[in-house]
Amino acid sequence: MNFKKLLVAALSCATISAYASQPRKVLIIGIDGTRSDALQQANTPNIDGLLVNGLYTFNAWHCGVTISGPSWSDIMCGVWEDKHGVLENSYSGSNYNEYPYFTTHAKSLKPNLYMVQVAEWAPLNDDVYNDSWDKKIQVPDGGGVLTADSAVANLANPNLDAMFVYFDAVDLAGHSTGFDPNNPTYISAIEGVDGHIGTILNALYARPNYAQEDWLVLVITDHGGSGTSHGLASAQERKIWWIANGPSVEHKELVGGDPGTYTQLYQLIYQVPEVNPAVLDTVPVQTDIAVTALHHLIYDTGTNPEDVAEWDLDGKSWLKTITGLDDKSSVKSDIAMYPNPASDLVTLWFDNKQNGKVNYAVYTAEGKLVNVPALITSQNKLTLNFEGNADGIYFVKLNIAGTEYTKRLVLNQAAPKGSATPDHDHTKCTGKH
């Protein structure tokens, strides 16, 4: 079989496996009250691992009211306050029946989805929401360890499709001692939550079927803070951050300007400009979380949430950007990798039309660079020897003629042994392509 036929066949198999048969699942981790500059200053190896292998921005902006109730409603409903109706933490005036959580929209198309919320802040577990969670778990405010343990227990359920895990310790530290990157108590709270996130991610990667699932992990804060409060329109309160990670997510940083605010009070009193749509398109904002998560969950239905008029969503889906996919193609890049899962040898094939230089690097799921020797390096083929490395998730980053690609690998010592000259019969698929 010549290379071109091999590549087409291998990509067809990979496409079917990755985008048709693999169940799409979502994990959203919310860290309340975490300033963007403080997150960058804190020692957060687990969050950093998500950044190394994912899409992220430290330059997202809050376009609504910088209070937790409205903010988490923005994030979960995919619409701003004028639609979901929440302007304060009392949730009075909420309009969730008309503008529900993204989980409710997902179940309208896929009613058998199983979804769980684990939250420390009691108002998030109230019954005022049209959220369709199958289980809502209340843990002590700022509980941290109990929150992570509850998330781990639910990740053990093979039927889990979506989960939202909410941490409140950082916001509590900000209110008690100050939202300030120079405040060691505030920084320590961020670092503590990062440890709990590591516990949750380890449980996610340990799922028996993780290699056959396509998880999208989204990490977000609701607002920043200034002094010991928030709710106004300073840059410290409005500037936030956004992370997307998963086996289909490309590594990329998004940089953009302040798009402005929809809140008329902020426009009038604090001289924040109204939203500029051109700037808004350049960076993710809070309402995009719901729409992107929803798009991932219902992708196999062929529905783009932005196109459903009755949902009337304000957010936009970043699925195309974070995965490198467009709505007409399922192929992320012209790279095939076999075997996966693997126990030792792994081969990648790629179409290097310009015969450019090929470089590679291998990282663990935590973002640690590891030494993996290459047995074969050519203009269109790379064979790596993972023998001696621990089981787990690895990311192979390729630079081919100046263009970067990332492939996810599951290393499992019980998987079939590879070969430096693999049998190409693995490219045979069933069905028409």
**For the segment 272-327, what is each residue's pLDDT rounded down to a tens digit?**
999 998 888 888 899 999 999 999 999 999 999 999 999 999 999 998 887 764 43
| Axis crossing angle, helix 184-205 with helix 169-177, rounded to the nearest 10 | 180
Q: Are 26 and 218 in contact (CB under 8 A)?
A: yes
Q: Are 31 and 186 in contact (CB under 8 A)?
A: no
Residue 398 has pLDDT above 70, yes or no: yes
- What domains lie within the chain, and their CATH numbers? 23-323 (3.40.720.10), 334-427 (2.60.40.10)
Where b means 16+ CB within 10 Å and e means fewer, 377-406 reads: eebbebbbbbeebebebbbbbbebeeeebb
Q: Give the closest residue to 344 by CA, choosing from 400, 284, 410.
A: 410
pLDDT value of residue 3: 36
Q: Which range has the worst mean pLDDT, 74-78, 283-287, 425-429?
A: 425-429
Q: Are 128 and 91 in contact (CB under 8 A)?
A: yes
What are the pLDDT digits (tens) for 34-70? 999 999 999 999 999 898 778 889 988 999 999 999 9
pTM of the model: 0.75
pLDDT value of residue 5: 39
Question: Confidence band (pLDDT; 50, 70, 90) for 211?
Answer: confident
Structure tokens at 376: 């074969």
Residue 197 has pLDDT above 70, yes or no: yes
Residue 419 has pLDDT above 60, yes or no: no
Mean pLDDT of 404-429: 59
Provide φ and ψ at 369, rounded to 5°.
-75, 130
The radius of gyration computed from the CA coordinates of the chain, to the nearest angstrom, equals: 22
Q: Which amino acid is at 377?
A: T
Residue 226 has pLDDT above 80, yes or no: yes
What are the pLDDT digits (tens) for 77-110? 999 999 999 999 999 899 999 999 999 999 999 9
pLDDT value of residue 418: 54
Mean pLDDT of 338-361: 82
Q: Where are the beta strands (DSSP E) in 206-261?
A: 214-220, 239-245, 252-253
Q: Are 237 and 225 in contact (CB under 8 A)?
A: yes
% of the chain with per-residue pLDDT over 70:
88
Q: To the nearest whole number, what is the mean pLDDT of the chain?
A: 85
Question: Confidence band (pLDDT; 50, 70, 90) for 355?
Answer: confident
- Alpha-carbon span 223 to 235, nearest angstrom: 10
What are the pLDDT digits (tens) for 167-195? 999 999 999 999 999 999 999 999 999 99
Residue 425 has pLDDT above 50, yes or no: no
